[in-house]
Amino acid sequence: MRVTALAGGTGAAKLLRGLAACLAPRDLTIVGNTGDDTEVWGLHVSPDLDTVTYALAGLLDVARGWGRADETFHALQAMAALGAPTWFSLGDRDLATHLTRTAALRDGATLTAVTGRLAARLGVEARILPMSDEPVRTTITTTEARLTFQEYFVRDKALGDVVRVDYDGASMARPAPGVLEAIGDADRVVVCPSNPVTSIGPILAVPAIVEALRSTRAPIVGVSPIVGGAPVSGPAGRLMQARGLDVSPLGVAAAYAPWLRTLLIDARDAGLAPALERAGVRAVAADIVMTDHAGEVALARGVLEAA
């Protein structure tokens, strides 16, 4: 069964580990968010692609949900001593990824090519594609300032009222090679439990991707990142509110209308099933909070069966 998953970072990483345990590795294609890519110390950092790659390689720091396990931060300390900005923590092992990516991009490689090479070197057999090879940058406008996603989320700790969210460059961006085919040829399309505004939103902002989702014959199944009126982690609630979306599975379904067919929701939200049905989305109540590997695999099975 060929599965294509749209993915952000931490929530997606857990479900993808579960899916990888249920599928032949080559049957899993991941379309990753690059809207929160950023430049740190002159290096191109792709946080969501790296989180997914590290997760599937078994290298992710599971407690933090980002970066590599067994990480040290000597370079960060040395950079601080030189007066460099250090609010975006890059670990020593993680730096190897960003150095390799940046050098390859400078040599003319595409982000698709370098993402594939990094994954292969780290032993990942699933296919990881960036949503686009062209830059798309999520920007958050608060009442105070217009910020990149990392400035808003990491540097400023998601403080400040969000007035709007933009995906700069998206309208000019083309889907990366293979993305439209992966959606069109899949037996299942999965929307991971990721931030609908800043993880899945940028993917959907790339022209032609929504069209591919509308026209694929594959059933499209999502997992709600919102449980009992709040995200499991991160700023999804505030960002959904800023976009006029209800902070509930109903808001998630609205963000993915009209192509989402099935949404896995938490038992606590089972009362929303009739409203979801009216919105054209079949709700399946399940244990959607993943706290260990068994939970990741069980949810992945539930996703594949729900379709």
* Contact footprint for ligand GDP (CB under 6 A): 8-11, 14, 193-195, 198-199, 223-225, 227, 231-236, 288-290
Closest distance to ligand GDP from the beta carbon of 266 (Å): 7
Q: Rounded distance, CA 128 to CA 300, Å?
A: 18
Residue closer to ligand GDP by CB (options 118, 236) is 236
Q: Rounded distance, CA 205 to CA 162, Å?
A: 19
Q: Which residue number places its CB atom closest to ligand GDP? A: 11
Residue closer to ligand GDP by CB (options 26, 268) is 268
Q: Length of the chain in residues, anyone? A: 307
Closest distance to ligand GDP from the beta carbon of 127 (Å): 20
Residue closer to ligand GDP by CB (options 104, 140) is 140
Closest distance to ligand GDP from the beta carbon of 146 (Å): 18
Specify the amino acid at residue 175: P
Q: Rounded distance, CA 196 to CA 199, Å?
A: 6
Closest distance to ligand GDP from the beta carbon of 108 (Å): 29
Q: What is the DSSP letter of 250?
A: H
Alpha-carbon separation of residue 31 from 28, 135, 269, 289 (angstroms): 10, 15, 28, 22
Residue closer to ligand GDP by CB (options 86, 198) is 198
Closest distance to ligand GDP from the beta carbon of 294 (Å): 13
Residue closer to ligand GDP by CB (options 97, 199) is 199
Report the relative pairing of strands 43-45 and 38-40 from DSSP bridges.
antiparallel
Closest distance to ligand GDP from the beta carbon of 103 (Å): 26
Report phi then psi at 30, rounded to 5.
-115, 130
Residue closer to ligand GDP by CB (options 174, 261) is 261
Q: Rounded distance, CA 85 to CA 76, Å?
A: 9
Both tokens assigned to 2: 């060929």
Helices 92-106 and 74-81: angle between axes, nearest 10 degrees: 80
